[in-house]
Structure formats: C-alpha cells, structure tokens
Amino acid sequence: MAASGNALLGLEDVTLCYATSEQIVTATWRVSFDVAQGDRFILLGPSGCGKSSLLKAVGGYMTPTEGHITLKGQPVTRPGPDRMMVFQEFDQLLPWKTVKQNIMFPMVMSGKYSKAEAADRADFYIDKVHLSRARNSFPHTLSGGMKQRAAIARGMATEPDILLMDEPFAALDSLTRGQMQDELLALWEETKFTLMFVTHSITEALKIGSRILLLSAHPGRVRAELNDLDGLRDNPLRSKAMEADIYHLLFGQAAPAEVE
Amino acid sequence: MRQNIIIDIDPNARLDIAARPVPWPRRLYANPTLRRLLVIAVLGAVWQGYATWLHNPLLVPTLSETAQAFAEGMLSGVLPQRVAISLRTLLIGYGLGVALAAVLTGLAATSLMGNSLLETLTSMLNPLPAIALLPLALLWFGVGNGSLVFVLLHSVTWVVAMNTHAGFQAVSQTLRMVGRNYGLNPVSYVLRILVPAAFPSILAGLKIGWAFAWRTLVAAELVFGASSGKGGLGWYIFENKNELEIANVFAGLLTVILIGLAVDSLVFRQIEKRTLRRWGMQAH
C-alpha cells in the first residue's frame, strides 16, 4: 500500500451513484485507494465495475454520494486543468483548432502559461508524440492514432498534477495500440508524470501499469491492489502467470454468483 | 513446404499511375460558383422564353425588359437610394435580433431557468407573424423606423435563437467534458466551446434569420407603405405597381434576389469556407 502521507491523490470510501428516472444505480461501493507521485495507476475490471465512473469522479464530473476525493490534500469539487483527461473518443479535439492550437488552448486559458511559452511547450510535446508533420493540421485530417497522440500531448503539455486516461487506445487497431502503449511508456520514462489509466484489458494493464487496482462488478468494489509489478515486463513467464492470477481474481469470484 | 515469397518493388517504376491530373470538364463541374451560375443562366433563359412567348408585359415582362428597368433604376439613382434605406433598417433590426438571440441562448446554455425561458418564449412567439405585430408596433413606436426595427427584431430573434439552442444541445458530450476540463468560466465555455461546436446550426439560423428579415421588411413596406416619407424597396415595388410600371416591379423584386445572392455568396459562403469546411464540420 502506498503510504497516505505522501499521496498525491486519495480516495476514501467513495460511493458513486447514477440516478435514472426510475432507479438509482450504484456504480462503485466504498472504494479507497491512494495514488503517489509518479505512479502509473491502472483501474482494471470488467464492464460495469465503475472504473470509468471513478475516473470521472476524480476528473470532477461526478460528485460522490459518500466518501471523499482529495488531490494534494484539497477536496475535488469540479473539473479543472490540474487533472487533464484523455478520452476514448476521437472527437475530443476541438475541430476548429489545429493540432498546435488545440494543445495551446488549455495552457493559455488556464492562465498558467503565456502565449509564447504555451507555443514552445506545444511544439516540444508535438515532437515528443511524433506529430511534427501534422502540427498545423486540423483534426479531421488526422487518423485515429494521430488524434489520440494529439490528445495525449495536450494532456501532458498542460503539466497537470495527474493525467487521467479513459481507455484512450480502445478504439484503435491493435498494431497502433501496441505502438501507442510503447510511446506512452517512453514518455513516462522521460518525465515521470503521474498517470491514472482505465482499461478492461489485462494485457494492457500489465504493460502500462506500475500499480493495478482490480475492481469487481455490480457495484464496483476493490478486489485487489497489485503494487509489486516492477520487472514484470522483462519476465514473460511471471507476466503470464500474473495475467492468469488476475483473470482468476476477476472472474473466479463471479462464477459462483452465476450458479446461484 | 511453402516458401515465403518476397517481391522487390522498384520505387521509381510506374509513378505515372499513382497520380493523374483531373480532366477539365470534371474540374469545371467541381467548381460550386460555376454550377450556381449555370442554374441562374437556365432560370434566366426559361424566364425570357416564357415571357416572350406570353407577350404580355403587364403580366410578365421579359428578363431583358426587367434588366433594362433595373439598369435605368440604378442609373437614375432611385434604386440605390431605396436599397440603402432598406439595408440600413434591415441591418439595425437584424443586428438587434441576433444580439437578443445571443443573450437568450447564452442564458439557456448555462442555467436551467434560462433554458425554460428560451424554450417557452420561442414556442410562444415564433409562430406569430411579424406583420401581425406591425399595427401594434405602429401604435407603440409611431410611424417610422422604430416600428420596422421592432418587427424585424421579432422576425429574426426567435429563429436564430431556436437554431442556436438546438445546435448547443447537439454538442457532443466529449467536447463538453473537454471544455469543462479546461476549467473555463461560463462565458468562455459558451463562446469558445459551444459556439464553434454548434456553428453549423448557428450559421443556418443566421441565414434563415436574414431571409426572414428581408421578407418582413419588404412585406411591411408593401402593406403599410413608406414610413416618414422615405420608403425602401418594398415601397418602390408598391409605388410602381400602382403606376402599372410592371417592369419596375420586377426590377425591385430582382434587386431583392440579387442582394440575397450577393450576401449568400460574399458573406455566408465565405464564412462557411473559412470555418466549417476548414474544420471538417461540413461536406460540400
């Protein structure tokens, strides 16, 4: 467990509910965890485990019905550029701005950087995500992978306290996805940003994460917190075994419930 | 056992099939201005043909007679003066109408009460014909520009507000969340996220509003005549009908049409080209 003293982000007994006109659905039930500076924290679980809801709550789009979310000791109450989101959808770039303008916009609007600084930083991150040739292109001329790269550059350039990614590679083809995962890790090696990443793919979780939170479904509850993942990528045998363990943790428990 | 087969391709061979120039008839056809001119030319030819065959200048003067009346009107300075009067009133009414629509939709986008206010007002007042309000406007604002501006404002505001509002509501959830992620204040959120994202609907609303404004203005002048002795295009049409100068009536109508075409191709199309097309939000 990460010591809560130096935690960047803390969730304490967070219960999230969706209200439809007929009923109130509990998405997550008393979920607690801490994310430390530099963590690549993965929320992993089957659909319906509330992992995206948890990310939205950290993003400030949902208010917990119970429990607290704190970022650097301050309660999270609304969305803000200190928690930049990268969404799964390709339409997250503003169509009326070029790649560079898209990346500069939140930096300038948040008042954190001057226009010149923002332009420099945008250029730097555009090169980092290999979009140099598309710098002045409008989003509709880019491929899906390039759009996601631009969105990641936008998220990182703003230098948020934490980068929130909601299955950012799920809509990509598998070749591009693998490439993007490698690039994300390479970026992390360089700047050691803090990342919170939602996925339903065990392989992706093991590849990207330094820590993994396993959630069970209906409602989402913490099933396990895997913190000892270092060196896993260099050890295919251990990685395979871990994959099987996670699968068992996620679905072994669900099986008896289905028999009942 | 099957072997792997590897074929080397000379990168310089047959580059001519990779890209060829587009043949010129196709290129002409791809030009929207040319296509529009063709439509106008065909319509003009049909008009000229029918009027010549009918041979009754009191009912339908030919295109050439109308063009002559138009040229005379322009040269004598009567038509430009009438156009100037109409355009001035029109722009004031249109501007105020758009401004009011902007305020109402801004409120509707940021608060639930504003939303209900706009939706109720629009559904109540949009069906009311502007001309039906003119007698009241004349009572309230007297005979003059004030009344015309009032009915113009009425004819523009609701349709622009309705389209803008519908556009705002159609903005994707992802873009909304992106905008809120940046921590924008309500005004920035509306101006920098909702307005560009809803721009196709907004522009459609502005176009319809512009057309409605013209209709209302010409109709108002036709029905109630000149205000304060200085009539616009509607009054010009009305006057000439009374004097049975039918070619001049057609010239007046033609002027409205020409202004419509000019504004559409010089203003709205240019805006579309610089925004929606460039952003990939509109097909051709």
> Residue B18: pLDDT above 60?
no
pLDDT at residue B201, rounded to an integer: 94
Q: Which residues contact B250 (CB under 8 A, 6 or more apart)?
A: B61, B65, B66, B69
Average pLDDT over residues B210-214: 93
> Residue B175: pLDDT above 70?
yes
Cβ distance B278 to A91 less than 8 Å, yes or no, reads no
Cβ distance B182 to A81 less than 8 Å, yes or no, reads yes
Give the H/E segment covering residue B114. helix B112-125
Question: Quick count: other Cβ atoms within 10 Å of Cβ A91?
Answer: 16
Average pLDDT over residues A138-146: 91
Kindly state the greatest CA–CA separation across chain B. 99
What angle, 0 to 180 degrees and rounded to 10, lies between the N-to-C axes of helices B63-76 and B78-110? 90
pLDDT at residue A146, rounded to an integer: 92
Q: What are the tokens at A232?
A: 């896993």
Give the pLDDT band of residue B122 (cuts 50, 70, 90).
Answer: very high
Percentage, residues of chain B above pLDDT 90: 51
Where are the domains positioned within chain A? 4-82+161-259, 90-159
What is chain A's length? 260
Q: What are the tokens at B190?
A: 């509306």
**Residues from chain A contacting residue B273 (CB–CB below 8 Å):** none
Q: Work out the end-to-end distance of chain B between its first and last CA atoms, rounded to an integer number of angstroms.
A: 54
**Which residues of A lie closer than 8 Å to B, measured between beta carbons?**
59-61, 78-81, 83-85, 87, 89, 91-92, 94-96, 105-106, 109-110, 138-141
pLDDT at residue A120, rounded to an integer: 94
Which ipTM did the prediction report? 0.74
Among B210, B209, B241, B213, CA closest to B225: B241
Contact A108, B182 (CB under 8 A): no
Percentage, residues of chain A above pLDDT 90: 50
Among B94, B86, B92, B87, CA closest to B213: B94
In a domain, B42, yes or no: no
Give the pLDDT band of residue B15 (cuts 50, 70, 90).
Answer: low
Q: What are the tokens at A208?
A: 């990207």
Residue-wise pLDDT for B52-95, tens only, equals 999 988 889 999 999 999 999 999 988 999 999 899 999 999 99
Average pLDDT over residues B251-256: 92
In a domain, B284, yes or no: no
In a domain, B1, yes or no: no
Phi–psi pair at A31, nearest 5 degrees: -95, 130
- Can you tell me the distance from the alpha carbon of B105 to that of B123, in angstroms, rounded to the nearest whole number? 14
Chain A and chain B share a number of CB contacts under 8 A equal to 67
pLDDT at residue B16, rounded to an integer: 58
pLDDT at residue B209, rounded to an integer: 94
> Residue A92: pLDDT above 70?
yes
Domain count, chain B: 1
* B23 cis-preceded (ω within 30 degrees of 0): no
Question: Any idea what the CATH number is for the domain that residue B194 is in?
Answer: 1.10.3720.10
Question: What domain range includes position B160?
Answer: 80-277
Average pLDDT over residues B208-225: 87
Average pLDDT over residues B28-35: 85
Lookup result for tokens 């579309």: B272
Give the pLDDT band of residue A175 (cuts 50, 70, 90).
Answer: confident
In a domain, B4, yes or no: no
- Classify domain A4-82+161-259 by CATH number: 3.40.50.300
**Residues from chain B contacting residue A168 (CB–CB below 8 Å):** none
Of A128-142, B80-94, B231-245, which range is least confident?
B231-245
- Can you tell me the distance from the alpha carbon of B273 to that of B264, in angstroms, rounded to the nearest whole number? 12
pLDDT at residue A232, rounded to an integer: 73
**Residues from chain A contacting residue B278 (CB–CB below 8 Å):** 138
> Residue A2: pLDDT above 50?
no
